[in-house]
Amino acid sequence: MSCVPPGSGWPGDPALPDTPVARDPAEVRRLAEASRTLGELTARQSVCRACPRLVEWRETVAEVKRRAFVQETYWGRPIAGWGEDRPEVLIVGLAPAAHGGNRTGRIFTGDRSGDWLFASLHRTGLAEKETSVHAGDGQRLVGARMLAAVRCAPPANRPEPRERAACLPWLSREVALVAESVRVVVALGGFAWQAIWPALKEAGYVLPRPRPIFGHGAEAEIFREGGSAHLLGCYHPSQQNTFTGRVTARMLDDVFTRANVLRQV
Ligand code: SF4
């Protein structure tokens, strides 16, 4: 099994060889809650080994590789949050793809879903370039930050409930550290919509009851001391969704255009 050693020169690697490593869910919570800055938090996220099944999967994929990428070094580690430190728009996916984020080290980078997503973000002014292909490609999010609810690529793209629970403190702490500036949270897909609620609660938001149902363009206002934000639902730009026309470029643009309106409210 293999992964990129922390601090070995990978572009944007937030960790160093002495970054503390969480080896079980209790350590994830302790290290996440003790992280005072995004830099400290993302470094710790990126070396986590708390879920044995996911650690084995992500590192085996990184070693075996897909034929098209056999010459490449795979990241093979958890995918840390990425983007601006004071974002107004937070974009949340469920988990990285085995040969996408797990290969490139950046969420929604190097796969077809990311191609659709970044093209839309670029058209709506939230990303500097229309593609995101690898960690050193010069791509930049504009007023936005992107993260995954579960940081490691799962088999069949399906993390288990205990793995979602184990990873929650990384998500909650990241949401809390950027809450002051965030005006809009976009959940990509129903699983991300479900996963973000407990993180928002842990980050101090008061959530609506009953919880709004996920849908493309679904909206909910959420409140915390000193401010409020809007949660927006967006169908996931998965290959299945884009191929069948369930999600179109126009539909993605509509959601991110709406996010741009709401970030100024
Ligand atoms: S899924 Fe989250 S908690 Fe589990 S090993 Fe990966 S980063 Fe750690």
Decide if 182 is inside a domain: yes
What total number of domains does the chain contain? Answer: 1
Question: What range defines the domain where residue 213 resides?
Answer: 79-262
Nearest residue CA, atom 2 of ligand 1?
A: 167
Query: Cα–Cα distance between 55 and 67 in angstroms, integer?
Result: 21
pLDDT tens digits for range 67-97: 999 999 999 999 999 999 999 999 999 999 9
The CATH number of whichever domain residue 93 belongs to comes to: 3.40.470.10
Determine the distance separating the centroid of ligand 1 and the alpha carbon of 113, expressed in angstroms: 22
pLDDT tens digits for range 231-240: 999 999 999 9
Query: Cα–Cα distance between 3 and 89 in angstroms, integer?
Result: 30
Q: What is the mean pLDDT of residues 24-30?
A: 98
Separation of first and last alpha carbons in the chain: 48
Q: Three-state DSSP class for 184? A: strand
Nearest residue CA, atom 3 of ligand 1?
A: 167
- State the chain's mean pLDDT as an integer: 96
Q: Tell me the pLDDT band of 2, cut-offs 50, 70 and 90.
A: confident
pLDDT (0 to 100) of residue 1: 64
Decide if 35 is inside a domain: no
Decide if 8 is inside a domain: no
Decide if 89 is inside a domain: yes
pLDDT at 221 over 80: yes
CA 43, 161, 184: angle at the middle one, nearest 5?
A: 60
Q: Tell me the pLDDT band of 265, cut-offs 50, 70 and 90.
A: confident
Provide residues with CB under 6 Å of ligand 1. Answer: 28, 45, 48-51, 54-55, 78, 150-152, 163, 166-167, 170
